[in-house]
């Protein structure tokens, strides 16, 4: 399986490459996974495209892929998360986090989800609707 992802960062290619290679900004998972990373000038002088290609072989074929995804360790998701964080850091100097899910995406949280349901009378009273 190949996990491929790309993102555009609104900075010069030289600056993006320099910061990517620095220890302070380098995405850990992408670096440790041995992914092939390429940098290209974005069309129309719109910054730099970062392309990541990770050749990943999950144990036990498709069953292994499913287990990896359920465990919250899907390589493509991790690559995309790290690229988004890098872009945020480069463009804003900060990585914003939602108070709703500060730990990020996890399979355990997804399994606990339930369909939307109307609030009970006690819940409506608690929020001051009744």
pLDDT digits (tens, 9 = 90+) for 33-74: 778 899 999 999 899 999 998 875 555 556 655 555 555 557
**Count of CB atoms situated within 10 Å of the CB of 104:** 13
pLDDT per position as a tens digit, 111-125: 666 677 788 888 888
Tokens of 8: 């555009």
- Per-residue confidence (pLDDT) for residue 15, from 0 to 100: 93
Residue 98, in any domain of the structure: yes
The domain total for the chain is: 1
- Asked if 52 and 83 touch (Cβ cutoff 8 Å), the reply is yes
Q: What is the CATH number of the domain that holds 29?
A: 3.30.530
- Whether 96 maps to a domain, the answer reads yes
| Phi and psi angles of residue 33, each rounded to the nearest 5 degrees, phi first | -80, -5
- Residue 55 belongs to domain spanning: 2-113
């Amino acid at each position: 399986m190949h996990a491929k992802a790309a993102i555009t960062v609104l900075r010069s290619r030289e600056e993006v490459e320099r910061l990517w290679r620095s220890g302070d900004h380098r995405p850990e998972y992408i670096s440790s996974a041995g992914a092939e990373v390429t940098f290209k000038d974005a069309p129309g002088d719109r910054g730099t495209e970062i392309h990541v290609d990770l050749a990943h072989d999950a144990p036990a074929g498709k069953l292994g892929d499913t287990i990896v995804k359920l465990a919250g360790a899907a390589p493509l998701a991790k690559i995309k998360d790290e690229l988004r964080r890098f872009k945020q850091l480069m463009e804003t100097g900060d990585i914003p986090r939602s108070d709703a899910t500060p730990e990020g995406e996890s399979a355990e949280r997804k399994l606990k989800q339930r369909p939307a349901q109307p609030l009970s009378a006690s819940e409506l009273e608690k929020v001051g609707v009744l």
